[in-house]
Structures are given as C-alpha cells and as structure tokens.
Amino acid sequence: MTTQMKVKADDNKSSASAALKILPRKMLPQAQARNPVLFVVWVGALLTTLFSIGQPSVYAWTVTVWLWATIAFAAFAEAFAEGRGAAQADSLRAVRDDAMANLITADGVVQVAAAELKRGSEVLVSAGETIPGDGDVIEGAATVDESAITGESAPVLREAGGDRCAVTGGTVVISDQIRMRITSEPGETFVDKMIGLVEGAQRRKTPNEIALSILLSTLTILFLIAVVALAPSGLFAGVRLEPLSLIALLVCLIPTTIAALLSAVGIAGMNRLVQHNVLATSGRAVEAAGDVATLLLDKTGTITYGNRQATALFVAEGIEENYAAAAARVASIADETPEGRSIVTWLTFTYDLPAEASAAEKTAEIIPFTATTRMSGIDIDGRILRKGAGDAVRAWVEEAGGKWPTTVENEIERIAQDGGTPLPVAEETADGARRVLAVVQLTDVVKPGMAERFAEMRAMGIKTVMVTGDNPLTAAAIAREAGVDDFIAEATPEDKLARIKQEQASGRMVAMTGDGTNDAPALAQADVGVAMNTGTSAAKEAANMVDLDSDPTKLIDVVRIGKQLLITRGALTTFSLANDLAKYFAILPALFASQLPQLGRLNIMHLHSPQSAIVSAVIFNALIIVALIPLALKGVSYKPASAASLLRRNLGIWGLGGVITPFIGIWLIDLVVQLLPGM
C-alpha cells in the first residue's frame, strides 16, 4: 500500500469513527425535523415499531428494522461528511491553542497569550516562533513555514510593503525577525473560520439546496396524499391495506435517497475546497462558482510569473548613456516594488553605479505611484524625475512644452509588441524644461500551460478576461500569447468594477482574483471573489473565498469544484427520482394481488410473495443510500462540455441507471428475503 493510499485509508477510518460518535444525535427527531423527507421516514419507522409490538411478525419487524436502518444510513452519510473535516479541525486547533506573542508596548516587549491580542496590536516574531495571529508585516522580512495551514512544505517570503505582507496565525517564522500588526480579533482569525468551515454542522443551506429541499418536500406531500388515498380506494375495491404496508410504500416512493445525501454533497463540496486550501465564507460562493460564465484574472502572478525584470535601457537621442542610466536609477531608488528593485539592481550592475542611496537621495521627496497618475518618481536638488506608463510620461513632458521624439515612441511600441513593459524616464530641470531621457524595458514571461487551461475554460463555456495595468500594446501581446478571450489594459479599480457590473447586467456570473486594496471593490462585487492569503486585509475581507496558497490560477479549480458539486447534486436527484419506477412494479402488485390477481402481470421481476416484495423494496431503499455515500463525498467526475451534452449524460447514466438498478437490486434481495420464515 502506498503512503498516499494509507493516509487516505486512515482518514476514512477516522471519519467513520467520528461519524459513529455523533450518529445517535443525528437520529433524534429534532435533528431529523430539519429534513422533511427523512422526518416522514422517522415517523413511519416509529409507527411500524408500535405496530410490530402490537402485532409481532417476522414481516413486520423486518420492515421496521430496515426503516430505522434507512434513518441510520442517512444520518451516517451526513455525519461521515462532517467527520472528514474533524481531523483537520483538530490539527488547526492545535496550531491555534497555547500560542504566545511578544507584544510591543510603551514599556517594551511583553510576552502574552495570543488569545489576548486585539486588532491593531503590534508584535515581534523571531526565527523559530509561531506567528500568534493574522496580520500584516510592517517592518522587516522573513521566510515563513506555512505548512501547518496550507500543507505546502516550501517556505515563503513575507516582507513589509507590497503584496506579500500578510501572514497567517499558526505559521512559523524560519529565519530573521519581523514586526507585524494584528488585523483580526480573537476568534475571528482564518484558522477559526477554517475550523468552523470543516465542521460541517455549522454550514448553512445554500439557495440551491433550499430550492431542492422545497421540491423534495412537495413530492413527499404529494406521495403522502396519494398513499393515504389508497386505503379508502382499496376498501372500495374490496382490498384491506395494512398500515404497515402503506408506510413501506410511502417510504419507498418519496425521494429518500437524495434527501439523505443532499447535506453530505454540500458538506463534501466545501471540504473539497478546504483540501485545495481555499477557504470559502459560504456555500453560496461554492455554488456560484459552478455557474461562473466570466473569469477576470490579474495578469501579473496569474498569467505571467509576475517577476518582471529590467533587461534593457534605450537612451533618447542627444542624451549621454551614463547620465540616462544614473537618472533611471535615482528615479527608481525609492521604488520598493520588485520591478523597481530590479531596475536599480540591473543598472547598478550594468553601469557600475552606486548600490546604496546617497544622503541627498534618502532625504529627497518621494512621489509614489498611483493608479490615477500612473507615474512615480523623486524630487531632488531642484531636479524632478518621473518614471511610469508611456502615455502618462509623454503627457507630463508635453504639458510643459517638451518634445517627445519619434524614436522614443517607436521603441515603446516595439517593447510593448514584444510583450515587454516599457517605462520611460523623464526629467524636469531647475529651469522648468522637461525631456525624456530613456526607456527601461521590463520583461515578463507567460506561465507554461496557460493557453491550454484557458482553452479548457472556453470548452466549459467560460469567457476569460485578463486584467492588467500595462498599456494596450503590451496587454494585447500577453493576451495573444496566453490565449485569453479579452483583456482590460491600464485597468483602474473603477475599470474592474465597471467590467464586472457590465457582465452581471448581461446575466453572467463573474469570478475574480485579487490581492491588493485596489482590488477590494471588484472582489466584493464579483459573484465569486477569491483573495490571495498574501494579499491585504481589505482584499480578504471583501472576497468570499481566500486562497491560502496564494495561487491565482486556482480559481480554475474552484470553478471545477463548483460545477462538480452542482452536477453531483443533479445526478443523485435524477437517480433518486428514477428509482421509483421499479418500486411501483414491486409494491403495487403486492398490495392488491390477493383481490386483484390481474395486477400480477405487473410483477415483472417475479418476486416471491407480496411480503417479500415489500421487504425487498424497503431494504433496497436503505442500502442504496450506503452505496451512494462514496459518490456523494467524492463527486461525479466532471469534464468540460456544453449544458446540452451534460444533460444528455445525466439522463443517460443516472436517469437510465436509476431505472435499471432497482429492478436488479430488488430482484436479488428478494432471492435472499424469501428464505425468511413467513415470507
């Protein structure tokens, strides 16, 4: 047995053990009352128990025992699904409990229990120590082991500033020391939310489940009325129908199979997300993922590797090369983004420039990049340097009457068409004159296999839209190479939000990934918003899912899990409703065979006797629940296909299978049941 198979077997054993512990609680009437279909079965089992005590027989007690078995199997299905998350919840509690923190106070550093930390508390975490709560790194950088939370053994870098500042409570600092600010109150951390998620008893029903529950309840009421009406109808035909047989008929006809497995399917879908290290705040988000028609994905880090590096410097006519290189370095000296650092590193190495900032550069006025200006820079010693998007820098230069050389514009277009990012650098001297000095070329690389994944999305009927702050030429080149359907260039938070609203206005469900504060409005607006765990607190609070691995491409897996959940629920519903046909042929002839022998023609399975036919149908009705538990937990396999194709497959496999299986199953059970005395 392989290690993976052994772990899976151990997990199933642990889940079964946990399920058996809570099984008695699940079988109580107040627990069954939450599911109208199963509550009817519970009441029926109680009535047959009383009937069997009053008029005991092998037939009566066999029906009674198997009705209670039906309740037990249904309760076990839900309990087992919940039990699969119990082990993970226990391990997460171990991560959370007993943690200590080095709280920074006005009097120095004081060690306190992590549970005492409040939002806004600042703590120091050194190598070998556990991060006491969710927060943002505000000073320093360190490698962090997140395997306790994400399962990923490779350490990750967490540092102040940028998109990799977020840390999760329960993870361990491997090297260096960081100062962090707590962003969650006790009991509200992501570990606490995960514990609540994997313990499926706290999971609320989703709209789809509620609608299906209403349908099942309606069918149950209709069958209840029909069965109750059979008693006087039988008397009219001269047939006295026993209450026990009518109860058995009712239980077999109502959709007990899907009612028993409905909760397990939903819990299993949520647990599959947890196994993919995705935390969903509600089951509604998982279902919405199954109906997504448009995906908005960030280019950087999702479609491309995201570590754009400076690879070339094009110098404008009339500008001395070393002067231009030095100016580009100064313009980037305060840029703490990976791109800004790469520019400084590359220029320092290529042109032998100082690696450290001078005293004047340290005290100069820094102009940060904004989505509105799309430029950053520095004002130093009467000299103004700007660096940013081509059209933004050009507008800045021409605003003061400066010229924009054709050669510079041609170089910007060439870099963009090649899929790179051009960053022109310009200056304003003390006399107010502005001119462009050079263009820095940044190069990014599309991740391998992305085109195939987007083709898979297209086959699923999902439109992919790349979102990037790059200029339209660069965006078009990357989009063409990656194979996305559309793109938004030079995207601002307003642009992202407007595109999502536009898609939703057309009746489409929209999903989006993001990690920055500027992504928060769009993440909140999207039907499925997936925030990266390394992202800002604002992004995680706005989203309805958080990817603990911070892998933006996982959104594709989230969509697959959502579709698999919906398809599994539909398949089991189809199978459950199709089951009734065989039960008609088993029970109805049995009820009227004594007085209406012509109905014996309907006994196409040639069941041994009326009693064995009813008992066989009741036993099959119970055993099919057990047989389908693995399918409910694992989910029906999903392959990208059109809705019409999926419907044909659903009807062909689960509809036809639901018709044929009971005929075979009831016939085989009857071969055994007829050996019992009194059958």
pLDDT band at 3 (very low <50, low <70, confident <90, very high): very low
- Across 374-387, average pLDDT: 89
Q: Residue 178 corresponds to which tokens in the numbers above? A: 């960081």
Closest CA to 158 of 170, 183, 176: 176
Determine contact, residues 195/279, Cβ cutoff 8 Å: no
298 is catalytic: yes
- 511: which strand partners? 295, 528
Query: What does the pLDDT average to over 319-329?
Result: 93
Average pLDDT over residues 394-420: 89
Length of the chain: 679
Amino acid (one-letter) located at 132: P
Q: Assess whether pLDDT exceeds 80 at residue 306.
A: no
d(CA 274, CA 261): 20
Rounded average pLDDT over 20-32: 80
User: Cα–Cα distance between 641 and 650 in angstroms, integer?
Assistant: 12
> Residue 304 pLDDT more than 60?
yes
Q: What is the average pLDDT score of the chain?
A: 81
Q: What is the pLDDT of residue 15?
A: 57
Annotated binding site for ATP: 335, 339, 369-376, 387
* Per-residue confidence (pLDDT) for residue 423, from 0 to 100: 92
- Please say if the pLDDT value at position 511 is more than 80: yes
Q: What is the pLDDT of residues 584-601, one digit of tens each?
A: 777 777 666 666 666 666
Query: Residue 624: what pLDDT?
Result: 93
Q: Give the pLDDT band (50/70/90) at residue 619.
A: very high
- Tell me: the pLDDT tens digits for 530-581? 888 767 777 777 888 888 777 766 777 888 888 888 888 888 888 888 887 7
Across the range 192-201, mean pLDDT stands at 55
What strands lie across the sheet with 509-514, from one edge to the other?
Answer: 278-280, 545-547, 528-532, 509-514, 292-298, 463-467, 486-488
Q: Which of these is catalytic: 298, 470, 527, 549? A: 298
Burial group, residue 93, by CB count within 10 angstroms (0-12, 13-18, 19+): middle
Question: What pTM was estimated for this model as a whole?
Answer: 0.62
Residue 2 in this model has a pLDDT that exceeds 50 = no
The predicted model gives 121-131 an average pLDDT of: 89
Q: Is residue 61's pLDDT more than 70? A: yes
Residues 338, 508: Cα–Cα separation, whole Å: 36
Q: Sorting pLDDT into bands at 50, 70 and 90, what band is 623?
A: very high
Q: At what angle do helices 406-417 and 390-399 cross, to 10 degrees?
A: 170
pLDDT of residue 9: 41
Q: How far apart are CA 553 and CA 62, in angstroms?
A: 54
CA angle 52, 53, 58 (to 5 degrees): 45
Query: What pLDDT is recorded for position 379?
Result: 92
pLDDT in tens, 654-671: 888 888 898 898 889 988
pLDDT of res. 190: 62
- C-alpha 195, offset from chain centre: 16
Cβ-contact 587, 613 below 8 angstroms: yes
Q: How far apart are CA 430 and CA 42, in angstroms?
A: 88
Beta-strand relationship, 292-298 and 463-467 = parallel
Question: For residue range 220-230, what is the model confidence (pLDDT) as tens digits?
Answer: 898 889 888 87
Percent of the chain with pLDDT over 90: 16
Residues at the annotated binding site?
Answer: 335, 339, 369-376, 387, 515, 519
Alpha-carbon torsion angle 103, 107, 108, 112, nearest 10: -30
Examine the pLDDT at 8 and tell me if it is beyond 60: no
pLDDT at res. 199: 52
Residues at the annotated binding site for Mg(2+)?
515, 519
Alpha helices in 298-424 (DSSP H): 321-332, 338-351, 359-363, 390-399, 406-417
Output the CA torsion sign for 545, 549, 552, 553: negative
- pLDDT tens per residue, range 228-251: 887 787 677 666 778 888 898 888
Highest averaged pLDDT of the listed ranges 209-218, 236-245, 422-431: 422-431
Q: How many CA within 13 A on the CB side of residue 366?
A: 12
Per-residue confidence at 5, pLDDT binned at 50, 70, 90?
A: very low
3-state secondary structure of 478: helix
How many whole angstroms separate alpha carbon 333 and alpha carbon 327? Answer: 10
Q: Which domains are seen in the chain, by residue range?
A: 2-87+197-273+560-661 (no CATH), 278-303+447-548 (3.40.50.1000), 305-445 (3.40.1110.10)
State mean pLDDT over 411-438: 88
Indicate the range of 189-193, 424-428, 462-466, 629-633 predicted with least confidence: 189-193
- The answer to which of 18-22, 226-230, 267-271, 591-595 has the lowest mean pLDDT is 591-595
Percent residues over pLDDT 70 in the chain: 84
Q: Which residues contact 222 (CB under 8 A, 6 or more apart)?
A: none
At residue 203, the pLDDT reads 47
Whether residue 31 has pLDDT greater than 90 = no
Least confident of 55-69, 299-313, 570-584: 299-313
Query: What is the band of 201 on the pLDDT scale with cuts at 50, 70, 90?
Result: very low
Residue range 92-115: mean pLDDT, rounded: 77
